[in-house]
Copies of this chain bind each other. A is one copy, B any other.
């Protein structure tokens, strides 16, 4: 999301605007996966302690990369942006050296009661255990730095994509708060009803088709004249099915979890008066 265009909040939170951002992120994610797939799986980089004693870091090679890159990006104020979430706990990262940008207040985030949803540990988990072994050649080619650099880039893009669910939820909530409020306030909250309200099976089906097409085009080989070679007997740069199943099995469900979790806290700190006003708007 480009928060700094000076566009009004209503436009930034329009579903059209958010969808365009999510569609654009698909390109980024597919391309980064293709870049990662140039290197072997290199399982060693995911094993805590595998580079001891040379690497004096309490975690895996990849976690060291995340820590170092995120430490630097934190200095450059990356994590002051509402759509960025580090994998390293924020309290371990340095403070920004320049003042944060002023962002419009797009999300409902009462400080004490609602810590920002952060599903990065789950993202790291499915990426390491399913995606990386699925898209890379098995084995160890020694390119630990190249592999981990790409891993960090993929993880950052996936994290941004999945946490964007908060903007989706806020947009849908504001569009019809009276639909959501009863399910948020029931005891216990009706998470299934909330999930149903934000699920659009037709949109998801379309996304998976689009994704397969993008993976085929970006991952296809081009002949010497730059024509895409799509014939099935030539192996592309990435296994298209891996990209589609990653979205279907992990990205979409995790985004939904982020969306529902956001909604469950949407009324924290909201006045009874405001809630009644919303319910009357039905």
Contacts and interface: CB of A to CB of B under 8 A. Distances in A.
Interface of A: 2, 4-5, 23-24, 27-28, 31, 34-35, 38, 51, 54-55, 65, 68-69, 72-73, 76-78, 97-99, 101, 141-145, 148-149, 206, 209-214, 217-218, 222, 224-228
Contact of A98 (B51, B98, B227, B228): B51
A144 B149 CA distance: 20
B222 A214 contact: yes
Given A2-B141, A4-B143, A97-B54, A72 B76 contact: no
Contacts of A143: 2, 4
A204 to B, nearest CB: 13
B145 A78 contact: yes
Copies per complex of this chain: 2
A76 B227 CA distance: 37
Contacts of A148: 76
Given A54-B98, A225-B209, A226-B209, A5 B145 contact: no
The 3 closest A-B pairs by CB, nearest first: A213-B226, A210-B226, A76-B145
A46 to B, nearest CB: 15
Contacts of A214: 222, 226
Nearest to A140: B4
A72 B73 CA distance: 12
Nearest to A40: B4
Which residue, of A68, A76, A143, A210, has the highest number of chain B Cβ atoms within 10 A?
A76
Nearest to A226: B213
Contacts of A4: 141-143
With a 10 A CB-CB cut-off, give which of A24, A65, A217 has the most chain B CB atoms: A217
Contact of A213 (B27, B212, B227): B227
A145 B226 contact: no
Contacts of A101: 142
Q: Which of A72, A148, A212, A218 has the most CB of B within 10 A?
A: A72
B217 A228 contact: yes
A211 B99 CA distance: 40
Contact of A69 (B5, B72, B225): B72
Contacts of A209: 225-226
B225 A210 contact: yes
B210 A5 contact: no
Contact of A212 (B31, B35, B212, B226): B226
A15 to B, nearest CB: 14
Nearest to A212: B226
Nearest to A102: B142
